Amino acid sequence: ILLVLQVRLVMKAHSFVRENVPRVLSSVKDKSGTVPIPRISQYLYFLFAPTLIYRDNYPRNPTIRWGYVATKFAQVLGSLFYAYYIFVRLCIPQFRNSSQETFNLRGLVLCIFNSILPGVLILFLVFFAFLHCWLNAFAEMLRFADRMFYK
């Protein structure tokens, strides 16, 4: 989790620098009186907004729909509980049985093939929980209007 957060922050810092350094360098080259440095509030908003492309201003919704936020967080919790259920009921028994037997290639292959479907279901649930529900909940709380996460 920490590694994923660090990668996200590095990607956001790269986008911030890539968007602002050319503007600052061009204003210094032109010797204009004002240097277009973004405000701290713009950078903080960008850190929490569900986007990797820095802009000074983003399209914003006029209000926050708190019922929508609660629904998305409930879906995240439901997805986590369902993934836990799948893991406990379908994955753990496979590996518990294999740990009591002596190692053989047939048992390993059967264990892997019996874990493929639950693993794919868990990956879909993680995709839905984080990339859809979690990002939409934070986008709604930040009144972020551009919801094209998948493009």
* 8 Å CB contact between 50 and 144: yes
Tell me, rounded to whole angstroms, the distance of Cα 57 from its chain centroid.
21
Report whether pLDDT(150) > 80: no
Report the pLDDT value the prediction gives residue 149, as an integer from 0 to 100. Answer: 59
Mean pLDDT of 64-93: 94
Mean pLDDT of 84-107: 82
Residue pointed to by tokens 């406990």: 88
Give the lowest-confidence range in 3-7, 72-76, 91-95.
91-95
- What is the per-residue pLDDT across 25-67, written as a single tens digit (0 to 9) for each? 888 787 777 777 888 999 999 998 888 889 888 888 899 999 9
> SS3 string of 26-67?
HHHHCCCCCCCCCCHHHHHHHHHCCCCCCCCCCCECCCCCHH
Report the distance separating Cα 65 and Cα 75, nearest Å.
Answer: 16
Mean pLDDT of 84-93: 90
Could you tell me the residue ranges of all domains in the chain? 1-57, 59-150
